[in-house]
Homo-oligomer: A and B are copies of this chain.
């Protein structure tokens, strides 16, 4: 499937600053980058970096002068979401997990899995197989947490959301990640573009490591899974923020878009468990 994604970000530069920008789709097995272009309204030094883990690439931009900074990013991406029959997703013992998955069992700033052991065990411990545990986590979050902006902020964490039960995609994803980790299922935070997201914005969901695959899970059930374009995965929102500012930039506006270029779109919805398939 071919998608065109774009982000326009405007800042007012108050003093010389450095900006780390994390808006470019990842180049991976499931994503092929057809073209991309990043335009700035002034000529600035940009460096592209790649995370050691291979889970994100980002640009560091040096901004020596004050004034308005306008960033226009645009890319065309070919994505392929693959279905895996749940029956093939065997539970993987700790002792044969790769190092890259093991590190995603640790609690993190916004996903305090160490405080959720009993809750997770009480609620999901009886369910056979990691895959069905994760589907139950997704459904519990969807059923119990109200999707609503304005209540949570940048400091809200999974430990808050599990009781406060209101939030946005970031909060849904943090809670999903934390509950998986509490059940010894490696899980990581996912950010990307999302086709059909209303209102248009960056989206967040999560991936759980099951049967040797990182399967994609979206507890908000807001968008089709095959309309996602991955920007990055990481421990939580801390290392996947679309922009990290060092200095003094005043945020002015953000416009995100994700449009289909292909003529046809076969919607793959969120109810994968019922259909017996996971998506990766």
Contact = CB atoms under 8 A, between A and B. Distances in A.
A48 B198 CA distance: 47
A129 to B, nearest CB: 17
Contacts of A116: 163
B118 A146 contact: yes
Interface stretch (A66-74, A82-90, A98-106): A98-106
Interface size class of A (residues with CB under 8 A): 35 or more
Nearest to A60: B95
Contact of A99 (B49, B95, B144): B49
Contacts of A18: 93-95
B239 A103 contact: yes
A45 B93 CA distance: 13
A112 B163 CA distance: 11
Contact of A184 (B49, B99, B162, B246): B246
Interface in A224-241: 235, 238-239
A139 interface: no
Contacts of A163: 115-116, 118-119, 159, 162-163
Interface stretch (A27-35, A50-58, A211-219, A251-259): A50-58
B246 A102 contact: no
Interface of A: 18, 20, 45, 47, 49-53, 60, 62, 93-95, 99-100, 102-103, 105-109, 112, 114-116, 118-119, 122, 144, 146, 153-155, 159-160, 162-166, 184, 235, 238-239, 244, 246
13 contacts: A18-B93, A20-B102, A45-B95, A49-B99, A49-B102, A52-B52, A52-B99, A62-B95, A108-B235, A108-B238, A115-B160, A116-B163, A118-B165
